[in-house]
Chain A
Amino acid sequence: MADLETHEPLDLPGWLNDTALAKDPVESYQRALARPARRELWKYTPAHKITELRQLPAIQPSLSGHEQAGVTVTANPSNLDLADLISIQRAPEAFAQLCKQPLLHIAVTADLAQPLSLHHQGNSWPVIIDVAPSISMTLIEDCEQEDDQQQTLWLRLGANSAVTHARNSFGTTALHWQFVSVQVHTDGQYRLHNHALASTLRRQDTQIQLVGQGAHAELTSAVMVAERLNLDQQITIEHINAHTTSRQRVHNIVADRGKCTFNGRIHIHEGAKSSDAQLSNKNLGLGANATINTKPELEIYNDDVSCAHGATIGQLDDNQLFYLCSRGVAPTVARRLLCEGFLQQCVDGPLADTAGSALVAPLQDMEMT
């Protein structure tokens, strides 16, 4: 844990001077790094492996769909009001990245008929997307480069807006950090469809704040961890206002000698009356040396809530296996089918077609005995 205490000094960017964030940011940053809760977040993945990615040169992600009416892209804006969006306390590492690199701001002020796509060609500039009230859009992210890289993304959803966010991450050799922070205002709806293979180390941080009444978040995630690879997924959904709802379904398959960590925290604030949160995490271990760490967490500060959370770690179901075999399907093929079916339950959204085949590709090379 020694690496949790080490950090480089911050060079504060120009835009910070114009916001409330500028009040003692360095001190806030250092306090955030020292928080005991941070130890839990980095229990299974050395923080320095991620923070060192900050030293890599960053490039602007390639965009498509940004020429539609209602999309305004600004590189390195001089003044942005980010005080309510950026939290140094919640994510000091992401804040440091924001200070270090140039910034890409995207404002969306009209319904988008076509998806807005971010194609990461390596280590990317931080991206902030502001979605105006009552706007519907689809955001697509993919990254196929095998170089070490990181992406940090902040999304602010105006009242009544609806964003479907699909993300495919299929490189398997790189050290890769993906951070997304989402703020959903009154009656806004955010849906994240995450499909990922593990890599040398892939760390996915997802922080969702339901700040407006009636805000809703849904997260489906399918992850395949092949042999000797590693994926660490940290998800926090905060219900801050009343009548907010969230749904999470996360399915992970971990091959022999692979390692997968899932930490799903639901935080119901005092003001989040009549909130409803559900989280289900299922893990399938293939082989005696698969490592699976899972921790669904509930932190509730009012009585008027409905919450359900659960996590399972298991192996393939013998009854399902026998059923398939009783129809003539060889056990190796049957096991592969069952694994595909397990992941398929969480493959959804606009990238589902490409995700389904990429996620199961490692199964083709595995001995399914």
Chain B
Amino acid sequence: MSLLEVKDLHANVGEEDGQEILKGLNLQIQAGEVHAIMGPNGSGKSTLANVLSGRPGYTVTRGSLSLESEDLSHLEPHERAQAGLFLAFQYPVEIPGVSNMEFLKASTDSLAKAHNAEQPDAASFIRQVRTLAETLDLDPQFLKRGVNEGFSGGEKKRNEILQLLLLDPKMAILDETDSGLDIDALKVVAEGVNRYRSANNGVLLITHYQRLLDYIVPDVVHVLADGQIIQSGDKNLALELEAKGYTWLT
């Protein structure tokens, strides 16, 4: 059984009659694997991330997507998260007035409730979050501020990784998490992702650049073009793309 299985996925922006972006995409990720998806602008990378996470504004017209054999296509975004899917946003959203800590507690409590698990007590939860923040070089003061409010680009991305480590999903999709990061922040983010990796979960890295893959070594690299995966290979494929660009494949 695959952890994540996407079969012949067709998806449009907007309604049924919207523009088709994904045109028969197939993808299988096993537990313990890291897959990278690379591709030129407009190839459908972010659409794939959005469709998998159930973002409103997209319509699946054909095909299937499942997590541990559970059909995701009819689940609301929060239900997909409760099923174990996590999306690290390319542009994390600012929510003034809702403190980061409050947000993290609401998320943790929601997931615990969905799994009939005990919600963590406030004191140990705060300790856990503070420790995670320190390991990601995030000032604990950020936890008191509004969600991502006034954060720099790097701080927002590190905050996404903090959530990844805290919520510990089965399947993490990282949508261009490396964009806008300096080399030091990139290393911190990569260390976080590597710490998250285990034999029980999977990672889908969506990226433009090979640089991230120096720090998070993928098991499989895919090339997405015009809504389909047109080539798959090992980490050397990413190096080849870095050297040659995409045109030799399309």
Report A's interface with B, CB cutoff 8 A. 317-320, 322-331, 333-334, 337-338, 340-345
Asked if A327 contacts B163 (CB within 8 A), the reply is yes
Q: B76 at interface (Cβ–Cβ under 8 A)?
A: yes
Q: B81 at interface (Cβ–Cβ under 8 A)?
A: yes
Contact partners of A338 in chain B: CB under 8 A = 95, 98
B37 to chain A minimum Cβ distance, whole angstroms, is 19
Contact partners of A344 in chain B: CB under 8 A = 97-98
Asked if A343 contacts B76 (CB within 8 A), the reply is no
Nearest CB to that of A319 among chain B residues?
A: B93
B14 to chain A minimum Cβ distance, whole angstroms, is 14
Partner of B77, one of A325, A341, A343, A345: A325
Contact partners of A325 in chain B: CB under 8 A = 76-78, 81
Asked if A329 contacts B95 (CB within 8 A), the reply is no
How many Å lie between the Cα of A338 and that of B54 in the bound state? Answer: 20
Partner of A323, one of B95, B110, B146: B95
Contact partners of A317 in chain B: CB under 8 A = 93
List 24 A-B pairs, Cβ < 8 Å: A322-B77, A323-B93, A323-B95, A325-B78, A326-B55, A326-B78, A326-B80, A326-B87, A327-B78, A327-B81, A327-B106, A327-B107, A328-B111, A328-B114, A329-B78, A330-B78, A330-B110, A331-B76, A333-B106, A333-B110, A341-B95, A341-B96, A341-B98, A341-B146
Asked if A342 contacts B97 (CB within 8 A), the reply is yes
**Interface flags, B49-71, vs A, CB<8A=1, else 0:** 00001111000000000000000
Q: B82 at interface (Cβ–Cβ under 8 A)?
A: yes
How many Å lie between the Cα of A327 and that of B114 in the bound state? Answer: 12
A83 to chain B minimum Cβ distance, whole angstroms, is 44
**Interface flags, B166-186, vs A, CB<8A=1, else 0:** 010000000000000000000
Nearest CB to that of B110 among chain A residues?
A: A328
Partner of B56, one of A322, A340, A341, A345: A322
Nearest CB to that of B53 among chain A residues?
A: A326
Asked if A341 contacts B110 (CB within 8 A), the reply is no
How many Å lie between the Cα of A327 and that of B93 in the bound state? Answer: 12
In the complex with contacts A333-B110, A341-B95, A345-B97, A326-B56 CB distance below 8 A: no
**Interface flags, B64-105, vs A, CB<8A=1, else 0:** 000000000000111011100011010011011110001100
A333 to chain B minimum Cβ distance, whole angstroms, is 7
Partner of B102, one of A322, A327, A330, A337: A337
B168 to chain A minimum Cβ distance, whole angstroms, is 12
Contact partners of A340 in chain B: CB under 8 A = 97-98
In the complex with contacts A328-B107, A328-B111, A328-B114, A323-B102 CB distance below 8 A: no
B119 to chain A minimum Cβ distance, whole angstroms, is 12
A140 to chain B minimum Cβ distance, whole angstroms, is 23
Asked if A320 contacts B78 (CB within 8 A), the reply is no
How many Å lie between the Cα of A330 and that of B113 in the bound state? Answer: 11
Asked if A320 contacts B95 (CB within 8 A), the reply is yes
In the complex with contacts A320-B93, A323-B93, A337-B103, A331-B98 CB distance below 8 A: no
How many Å lie between the Cα of A351 and that of B147 in the bound state? Answer: 24
In the complex with contacts A322-B55, A341-B146, A328-B97 CB distance below 8 A: no
How many Å lie between the Cα of A340 and that of B102 in the bound state? Answer: 11
How many Å lie between the Cα of A343 and that of B89 in the bound state? Answer: 26
Contact partners of A342 in chain B: CB under 8 A = 97
How many Å lie between the Cα of A352 and that of B29 in the bound state? Answer: 49
Contact partners of B86 in chain A: CB under 8 A = 326-327
How many Å lie between the Cα of A214 and that of B167 in the bound state? Answer: 51
- A-B pairs with lowest CB-CB distance, top 8: A341-B97, A341-B98, A327-B107, A328-B81, A344-B97, A323-B93, A325-B77, A325-B78
